[in-house]
Amino acid sequence: RYISTFRPSVKCDTEKNKAQWKTMGPAKVAMPSPKKFLQKHSKEPKLPARKKEQDSKKLPALSVPRRTDHPVMGIQSKKNFINTNAVAAIMGSPKKPQPIYVDRRQGDKYLLETSGLVPKYIKKKDYGVTPKYITRRNEEMKRAQEEYEASILEHLKKRAMKRLSDEERTSLLQGLKKNWEEVYREFQGLSVEIDTIPKKIYKEKLELQMKQLEHDIEVIEKHKVIYIANE
């Protein structure tokens, strides 16, 4: 019969990897010693031993007099407490009652100051004042914008560029809108039925002109600063 050449190595590996509990019969385990039996309170947690420093620590002084202390006798005062209290009551300013509010006719009374109904916040000194960090940030943004515009102007001067003034920009925008209205009027005057090639070409030409004019108007309205090349 056929016998594999790897049989000895497989047998050796199987013996090595075999666990104790994978055997026939009970596993051979050492018996516990009879002297190590479970005792009473053995599983309860044990507190650490008290340190000597805690034992030697003194108790804080009591504010209550001790039993052995005797009161000081023989001390007398010549102050007339009746007259003093009467003068203080006459000369003192009357105590102002605390403002309260009641939720209904037979409801409970609550302090008005802690209720949130008193407009304390608007009486603050810095109420309505712009915070310092926002002012500082706005100044930094303005400074950065000015520096950017200055650098752009320098760059454009080198390239011989000219900035359009507000009047020129407005007039240019109005001229573009006027041209668009003229082209649109021509577009509206086309015949309803376009059946020839010249009509189709003319219609496409008008549509391209209107689209270009709309694009130019949108660009000029979007950008307030416009530069053009000097001729």
- Write the DSSP string, 167-197: HHHHHHHHHHHHHHHHHHHHHHTS-S---SH
54 pLDDT higher than 60: no
* Residue 83 pLDDT level (bands cut at 50, 70, 90): very high
Q: What is the pLDDT of residue 57?
A: 63
Residue 20 phi, psi (nearest 5): -70, -35
* Residue 146 pLDDT level (bands cut at 50, 70, 90): very high
Residue 216, CA atoms < 13 Å, CB-side half-sphere: 16
Q: 199, 179, 180: which is closest to 190 by C-alpha?
A: 199
**CA-CA distance, 162 to 148, in Å (whole number)?**
17
144 pLDDT higher than 60: yes
Query: Which two tokens mark 14?
Result: 């199987």
pTM: 0.33
User: By percentage, how much of the chain surpasses pLDDT 70?
Assistant: 88
**CA-CA distance, 213 to 183, in Å (whole number)?**
9
23 pLDDT higher than 70: no
Query: Which two tokens mark 165?
Result: 């003034």
Q: What is the pLDDT of residue 65?
A: 80
* Residue 55 pLDDT level (bands cut at 50, 70, 90): low
Residue 213's CB: how many other CB atoms inside 10 A?
Answer: 19
